[in-house]
Amino acid sequence: MTPVATVAVAMLAGSLRVSTPFLFVSIGECLTEKSGRINLGNEGVLVLGAMAAYAISYETGNPWAGLVAAAVAGMLLGGLHGAVCSLARVNDVAMGIAIMLAGTGIAFFFGKPFVQPSAPLLPGIPFGFWSSSKDLQYALTVSPLFLLGIAAAIAMHWCFRATRVGLRIRIVGDSQDAALALGLPIDRTRFLATAVGSGLAGIGGAFLSLYYPGSWNEGLSSGQGLMAVALVVFARWNPINCIYASLLFGAAGALGPSLQTVGITWGYYLFYAAPYVVTLVVLVITARGGRSLAGMPGQLSIGR
């Protein structure tokens, strides 16, 4: 293969792998923000989910049990955020940072014994069986979680557009007055949206520890949980757009390692920063004009 093709295949492989945690955290964050609350704690949820998934997979020998554990752990931590933010005068942005620090701390604390042992990982689905190229076969081995994430994004989009639950979440997120007038349970809606959203983010963490990179250590997450917040802004609070945005961020994340496969090692650390630069550029582009972004839930604290 030519170097360009090698890099392209490596980036495709990287994009399909790296994008999945972005996808789960971003649709989870999208759900939470649609209800009018922001959760910066999903970074902590991601790490805690990764740890819980790895630990349970190791203890039970079943990676799918680990996946469930990650979702439950995420829902618990997100539920804490949701419950505390329901109290008067509590700042949800600052609380998210606290949840982030607490979540990573708890994950490192309980995850210490699981750094060494190797747990059973989730299997991949070989979509590249038709190709004779080893690289392409590797690139097209897709995690079932990636497909699950896409299915979840489409389901969420349908839910927002066509169901009663989705409409209620949107009302609570867009106008507190309208929700009050309709007698909707505002706090309960936001609590549930935060808990379920963090459950999805927890699954994103399970992908990190049980599929790619497929191990548990303290440097596993590199800010995907927080970058997802920017990603949701970029996706205009639309779950379908979250899929495209995640693939873009995944490709940016795969840039450095892909160039390494053809021997370009100069500026490894700078290429490593590519997804952050993309995030920053996205923030600047989407924030132009400063206010009333199309599609932004009206009750979101970062918009007021």
Partner 1 sequence: MSEAGALPVAATVTEPAQPVGGDRTYPLRHALEAMLAPLVALLASAVLFSILLLALGQSPIDFLGVVWVGAFGSWFSVRNTLQHAAPLLLTALCVALPGQLGLVIIGGEAAVVLGGLAATVAALPLVHTDPIIVQLVMAVAGAAAGALWIGISGALRAKLGVNEVIASLVLAYIGLAIFNHLVEGVLRDPSSLNKPSTYGIGDDNMMGNVPWLDIHPGIPIGIAACVLCWVLIYRTRFGFAARVTGGNMRAAQLQGLPVTRLIILSCALGGACAGLAGMIEVAAEYGRANSSLNAGYGYTGILIAFLARFNPLAIMPMALLLGGLNAAGGLMQQWMNLPDATVQVLEGIIFVAILTSDTLYGRIKWFQPRG
Per CB under 8 A, does 200 bind partner 1?
A: no
The CA distance from 39 to 99, in Å, is 9
Q: Which residues make Cβ contacts (< 8 Å) with residue 4, sequence separation at least 6? A: none
Per CB under 8 A, does 108 bind partner 1?
A: yes
Contact with partner 1 (CB under 8 A): which of 5, 94, 165, 181? Answer: 94
Per CB under 8 A, does 142 bind partner 1?
A: no
Q: Is 125 in a helix, a strand, or coil?
A: strand
The CA distance from 98 to 295, in Å, is 28
Is the Cβ of residue 183 or residue 290 nearer to partner 1 in the bound state? 290
**Rounded (5°) CA angle 297-301-302:** 90
Contact with partner 1 (CB under 8 A): which of 3, 61, 105, 295? Answer: 105
Is the Cβ of residue 167 or residue 273 nearer to partner 1 in the bound state? 273
Residue reference for tokens 């990179």: 213
Is the Cβ of residue 149 or residue 275 nearer to partner 1 in the bound state? 275
Is the Cβ of residue 51 or residue 70 nearer to partner 1 in the bound state? 51
Is the Cβ of residue 185 or residue 267 nearer to partner 1 in the bound state? 267
The CA distance from 24 to 199, in Å, is 9
Per CB under 8 A, does 97 bind partner 1?
A: yes
How many of the other CB atoms lie within 10 Å of CB of 195? Answer: 23
Per CB under 8 A, does 76 bind partner 1?
A: no
Per CB under 8 A, does 87 bind partner 1?
A: yes
Which of 58, 84, 78, 291 minimizes the C-alpha distance to 194? Answer: 78
Distance of CA 15 to the CA centre of its chain: 14
**Amino acid letter for position 194:** T
Per CB under 8 A, does 167 bind partner 1?
A: no
| DSSP label at residue 114 | G
Per CB under 8 A, does 182 bind partner 1?
A: no
Question: Residue numbers of the site for partner 1 (CB under 8 A)?
Answer: 40, 80, 84, 87-91, 93-95, 97-99, 101-106, 108-109, 112, 222-223, 226-227, 229-230, 233, 267-270, 272-273, 276-277, 279-280, 283-284, 287-291, 302
